[in-house]
Structure 1
């Protein structure tokens, strides 16, 4: 059994008057579990915001768990809809989005990830990053071409190596963590998905007080205030869920 305990979500544009390229799916019940997602439209291309909305709307209208777990078909359907959109006008020809979603139930956690949003699990007073960014930065680090220190401040972090678009090869990471391997506190699991405009501020200072870490609402509110105080560098989104797994 999967019991919902708490949820939190926000999604804002980088600045007032600017269109938000991020789209989110707040936790929705799907059969015996909950589905949540964040998509980040690639802002350098016209139509990115609509592409992210298309991806999230497809997840929002997914009817069965079996549809969700057929990842190859699901992503192919989303890509097909984005291609259809890109063909409506030449200015949308390169419309693209990232997409990261998670489904959690009594069996465990399933994650599918394309791009540079991130999934985190809370363990004690820390957040454990589960996904790897599909960026030039991460590829250079993984291939030991450059060190993280050398690449800091370069554009490599903002250059995606995959996304959902008509003219980009789509390479998704998809994995499952069984329930017995999930970090639990009093039978509860805490999960966050963040867009890159949010998690870049977590990277800079990955900590809050114990009281804040143990309350999703306080974490979400304090984290939003931190981003706004330090001035957003991109659209910023977060979706979180606390569930009791029995």
Structure 2
């Protein structure tokens, strides 16, 4: 992760280096670390595709600045059931459906599916979640399912209809902290370095409360336009924020898979959002297997041209599978128009 701090320091502190050189040097250093990981010396908490290495020349020496102090996350200790194994679960295609919410997680063009999703009605709320695991061997799929299982258990056990919006936000962050700590505790042996993104929506009447860590996303789409969207915890998002690249350029950027926050990793933070819903709104949630490969205009056209959640998801999945190199997870919740 030191290379991420190196790059961000250069971009944000205004060093007088050519932008392209920074990117090229950054990529070279990442692959030096990837090679040394095989010898057990370093771990790189990224989702960078190794095949991109073929585009990189050999090596530059870069002095890495000292890593900032890690933020200590307070532990909470609810009594959680034993973590469920993923070994006997068919992860090739996972489908959830609950009234006006529908979701699919598909292995896409990868051998294994490291994504996991959840749609569940709990009392007067819907809980919707997308997790995208990272880590070698079987670590990514373990981390993503562990996060979703703990999220589901914490919310189911502690939610009641009298909670305020602020109390729901706190409950979500407690669930994230619990999952983060549990993943770190289990990141040993061939699971070392595992982590996961996690984007969660709780829909309660006309309110939608979002918690986000990583680069999975939630969108609120109204009248064919994106009115709200979560902000990715990623290097390319930092470049967008600084005006170095556009959102369209970010889709094709060679470092688009580098995330700067995830459950289970030292770099961990959770953003929360509160959105108002009106009749006809569409809440779309996805892993980067969709939004890194399917353009915004195509997503909006697909949402507008289909009337129900299942049709939207299935058409978006079909489009994504023609383009993506990753697992694909998509959830759609549609706030139904009230009939007189």
Q: For the superposition of Structure 1 and Structure 2, which TM-score range results when normalised by the shorter chain?
A: 0.7 to 0.9
Larger RCO, structure (CA 8 Å, separation 6 or more):
1
Determine helix, strand or coil for the equivalent of 2:268: coil
1:32 to partner: Cα distance:
1.7
Contact 1:34–1:104 (8 Å) recurs in 2: yes
1:203 to partner: Cα distance:
2.2
Query: Structure 1 pair 10/244, CA: closer, same or farther in 2 (3 Å)?
Result: same
Structure showing greater radius of gyration is 2
> Which residue does 2:103 correspond to in 1?
9
2:179 to 78, 84, 92: 78
1:217 to partner: Cα distance:
2.1
Counterpart Cα distance in 1 of 2:137 and 2:268? 17
2:254 to 150, 155, 158: 155
- The TM-score normalised by the length of structure 1 is 0.82
Determine helix, strand or coil for the equivalent of 1:156: coil
Structure 1 runs, 4 residues or longer, greater than 6 Å off: none
Counterpart Cα distance in 2 of 1:215 and 1:107? 19
1:21 to 110, 114, 136: 114
Counterpart Cα distance in 2 of 1:112 and 1:236? 20
Greater strand percent: which structure?
A: 1
Counterpart Cα distance in 2 of 1:143 and 1:136? 11
Structure 2: gaps of 5 or more residues: 1-97
Structure 1: gaps of 5 or more residues: none
1:192 matches 2:280: no
- Matched positions, count: 230
> How big is each residue's C-alpha offset from its partner over 1:195-238, in whole Å with a ceiling of 9 and x where there is no partner?
0001223325333267634322221121111122x242100001
- The TM-score normalised by the length of structure 2 is 0.61
Q: State how 1:62-211 maps to structure 2 within 5 Å.
A: 62=154, 63=156, 64-65=158-159, 69-70=169-170, 71-87=172-188, 89=189, 91-106=190-205, 108-144=207-243, 146-148=244-246, 153-165=252-264, 167-177=265-275, 179=276, 182-185=277-280, 189-203=281-295, 205-208=298-301
